[in-house]
């Protein structure tokens, strides 16, 4: 299937074999003046017949000229590079050439737009240590337009809310309609799983098998809905985090079905047939051994299989070593930032693509958008691996901190011993010396690939509060997974982990609407109140993320840490014991203070007292079983 754009052919009539406008495509579909990109490589595609060819010979525009026209290995494609003067204004240009067959030639003239930039869309660009991210699975959050649930022209054209791996019907309009609710959680940025089209026979809901890099999935509402969502986010002073995937694409992407060059694809399968599930037999699957990239003794075959193998049989591994493929992916990323006003990228499967490409890709993005924020999904299982993948790239702003996630799991799910529980958390944070910017790591208690936090702690509400306090007050940029605030409890299976948000489906099935507090159980109300209270504390005490961080080794099952500057100390204590314990404030040593008060006591959350009730550096703080306290100390 060919995706095409309008072609103006310099003839009033076409011969019976001439290419029609619907058989022409140019990627990127348009560009912008003043984007500080000196040259642009257009991928021009025509569906040629036997003995047909085309050439691009000229670009008609003001201060925009043709540099080169190179036919790809697949003659349906040309790499057309144009030069853009820094002073070139917004305009319509014409890309001209000739279509040849049988000794005849026919002129073609393609309209291509250079648009004005919308500068205000970048006012919120970037993330920092004061942000709070909310992660959403769009298909499972809310349905704002039931008319786009089924698109009959696409391969998966049904919804089935009882099946975890089918589409449920959530869309961008539904997400946009609940931005006020999300705002009440103290959220400053929203990250969604991918929204580009996944025209795959199954599992298309998750978005990670893109079949067109320049099209928003119509079942999510299309580009118009995405732009309105961006506008509404920014109107509420929230940021747009886009999930981007340079490692792979879906098997029904035309760039696999009819690639410009076979070298665009890694481990080209011996059997190219795609089955009814969209899987390709014979494709080499990655061994997932990320250590081969830094292991001095790694076998070359292991290293190659890791980097060049497919993630799964339905996701084609892209070869970023190919310069044209690399250019295509880089320009596509820049295009979406400008088109939507994206403020940050979360990069899927960061460790799998060519690492030199990722370094160049992120630097190119930062050259155009210096304030942009890029964080990686580097799902590794120890600190030295995380250090390798974070420090290797000077232009990588942050990483999703899976090691902190594992440390929190140990601390909150297991009793404390010399090497486990709270000591795992302490040792993980002590390993920050290996990283260049750990304050910009993205921290989380659960996400779209891991079991729900409340389920993991066996629905212990005291431990829930302890986890939320740690998430919102430890170093890094916290990320809350949708529904954690109301104790959603799906465990292990992806379909359950990415469960529906009750209330987003008024068109068909919900018995209650959790976006309205009256529909919540008493425990859910307490959880939502606590999440909002911690967001308020994080917002009110600016020392979090901006001051210096210090922590104390666990003692008697109490772990403590603080943020401090010359005026303020915000001190957090967590007792991971089933008995009452105490912490001696003399351990603060040179962090002296004049007076203080309890900001939060997890056993008495409703206490709003402003009384200054801590008066001595020698006082011992009593900690209830599995309790958390936050103290504000004035210096």
Instruction: Give me the active site residues, please.
Output: 348, 377
Alpha-carbon distance of 204 to 171, in angstroms, equals: 13
Q: Which two tokens stand for residue 287?
A: 């061994």
Query: Distance between CA 313 and CA 451 in Å, rounded?
Result: 24
* CA 262 – CA 268 distance, rounded (Å): 8
DSSP 234: H
Whether the CB-CB separation of 471 and 444 falls below 8 Å is answered with yes
Q: Is 313 helix (H, G, I), strand (E, B) or coil?
A: coil
Angle at 399 between CA 395 and CA 404, to 5 degrees: 150
Return the closest-CA partner of residue 74 out of 331, 324, 332: 324
Q: Are 92 and 112 in contact (CB under 8 A)?
A: yes
Alpha-carbon distance 98 to 632, whole Å? Answer: 73
User: How far is 80 from 96, CA to CA, in rounded Å?
Assistant: 11
Instruction: Take residue 457 and report the two structure tokens written for it.
Output: 């702690």
The residue written with tokens 């040309």 in the block is 78
Whether 375 contacts 354, CB under 8 Å: no
Antiparallel, parallel or unpaired: β 239-244 and 189-192: parallel
Read off φ and ψ for residue 225, nearest 5 degrees. -65, -35
* Residue pair 181/165 in contact by the 8 Å Cβ criterion: no
Cα distance between residue 202 and residue 252, in whole Å: 12
**Residues 6+ away with beta carbon under 8 Å from 70:** 78, 79, 80, 81
CB 243 within 8 A of CB 193: yes
Whether the CA torsion 513, 518, 519, 523 is positive or negative: it is positive
244 CB-side CA count, 13 A: 29
What is d(CA 17, CA 48) in angstroms, rounded to the nearest whole number? 10
Q: What tokens appear for 55 in the block?
A: 């050439």
Which position has the token pair 């703080």? Answer: 621
What are the C-alpha distances in Å from 236 to residues 399, 479, 550? Answer: 26, 18, 34
What are the two backbone dihedrals, phi and then psi, of residue 433, each rounded to the nearest 5 degrees?
Answer: -60, -20
Burial of 472 (0-12, 13-18, 19+ CB in 10 A): buried
Residue 121 in 3-state DSSP?
A: helix
- Residue 150 main-chain phi, psi, to 5 deg: -120, 125
User: End-to-end CA distance of the chain, in Å?
Assistant: 68
113/309 Cα distance (integer angstroms): 38
Alpha carbon distances (Å) from 128 to 345, 435, 476, 478, 586: 13, 17, 9, 10, 33
What does DSSP assign to residue 428?
H
């Amino acid at each position: 299937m060919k995706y095409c754009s309008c072609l103006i052919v310099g003839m009033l009539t076409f011969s019976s074999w001439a290419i029609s406008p619907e058989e022409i495509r140019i990627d990127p579909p348009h560009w912008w003046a003043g984007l500080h990109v000196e040259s642009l490589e257009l991928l021009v595609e025509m569906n040629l017949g036997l003995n047909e060819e085309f050439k691009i010979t000229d670009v008609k525009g003001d201060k925009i000229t043709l540099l080169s026209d190179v036919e790809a290995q697949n003659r349906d494609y040309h790499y057309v590079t144009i030069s853009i003067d820094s002073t070139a204004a917004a305009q319509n240009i014409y890309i001209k050439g000739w279509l040849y067959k049988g000794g005849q030639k026919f002129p073609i003239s393609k309209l291509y737009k250079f648009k004005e930039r919308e500068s205000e869309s970048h006012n919120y660009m970037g993330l920092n240590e004061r942000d709070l991210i909310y992660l959403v699975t769009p298909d499972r959050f809310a349905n704002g337009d039931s008319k786009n649930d089924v698109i009959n022209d696409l391969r998966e054209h049904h919804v089935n809310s009882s099946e975890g791996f089918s589409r449920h019907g959530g869309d961008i309009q539904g997400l946009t309609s609940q931005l006020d609710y999300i705002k009440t959680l103290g959220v400053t940025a929203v990250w969604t799983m991918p929204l580009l089209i996944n025209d795959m026979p199954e599992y298309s809901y998750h978005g990670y098998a893109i079949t067109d890099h320049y099209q928003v999935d119509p079942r999510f509402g299309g580009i118009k809905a995405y732009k309105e969502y961006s506008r509404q986010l920014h109107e509420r002073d929230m940021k747009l985090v886009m999930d981007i995937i340079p490692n792979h694409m879906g098997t029904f992407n035309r760039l696999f079905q009819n690639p410009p060059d076979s070298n665009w694809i890694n481990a080209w399968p011996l059997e190219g047939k795609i089955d009814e599930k969209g899987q390709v037999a014979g494709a080499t699957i990655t061994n997932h051994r990320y250590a081969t990239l830094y292991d001095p003794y790694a076998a070359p075959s292991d290293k190659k299989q890791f980097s060049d193998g497919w993630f799964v049989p339905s996701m084609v591994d892209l070869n970023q070593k190919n310069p044209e493929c690399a250019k295509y992916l880089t320009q596509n990323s820049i295009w979406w930032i400008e088109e939507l006003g994206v403020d940050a990228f979360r990069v899927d499967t960061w460790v799998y693509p060519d690492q030199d490409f990722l370094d160049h890709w992120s630097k190119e993005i930062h050259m155009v958008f210096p304030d942009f924020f890029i964080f990686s999904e580097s799902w590794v299982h120890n600190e030295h691996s995380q250090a390798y993948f974070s420090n290797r790239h000077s232009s990588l702003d942050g990483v999703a901190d899976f090691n902190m996630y594992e440390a929190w799991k140990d601390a909150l799910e297991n009793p404390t011993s010399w090497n486990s529980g709270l000591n795992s958390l302490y040792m993980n944070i002590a390993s920050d010396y290996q990283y260049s910017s750990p304050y910009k790591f993205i921290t989380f208690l659960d996400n779209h690939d891991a079991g729900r936090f409340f389920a993991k702690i066996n629905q212990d509400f005291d431990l829930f509060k302890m986890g939320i306090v740690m998430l919102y007050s430890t170093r890094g940029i916290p990320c809350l997974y949708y529904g954690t605030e109301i104790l959603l409890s799906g465990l292990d299976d992806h379909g359950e982990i990415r469960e529906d948000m009750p209330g987003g489906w008024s068109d068909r099935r919900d018995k209650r609407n959790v976006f309205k507090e009256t529909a919540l159980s008493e425990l859910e109300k307490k959880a939502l109140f606590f999440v909002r209270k911690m967001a308020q504390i994080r917002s009110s005490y600016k020392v979090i993320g901006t001051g210096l961080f210090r922590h104390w080794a666990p003692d008697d099952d109490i772990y403590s840490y603080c943020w401090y500057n010359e005026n303020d100390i915000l001190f957090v204590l967590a007792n991971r014991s089933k008995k009452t314990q105490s912490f001696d404030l003399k351990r603060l040593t040179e962090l002296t203070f004049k007076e203080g008060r309890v900001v939060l006591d997890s056993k008495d959350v409703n206490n709003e007292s402003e009384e200054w009730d801590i008066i001595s550096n020698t006082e011992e703080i009593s900690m209830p079983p599995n309790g958390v306290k936050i103290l504000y100390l004035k210096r």
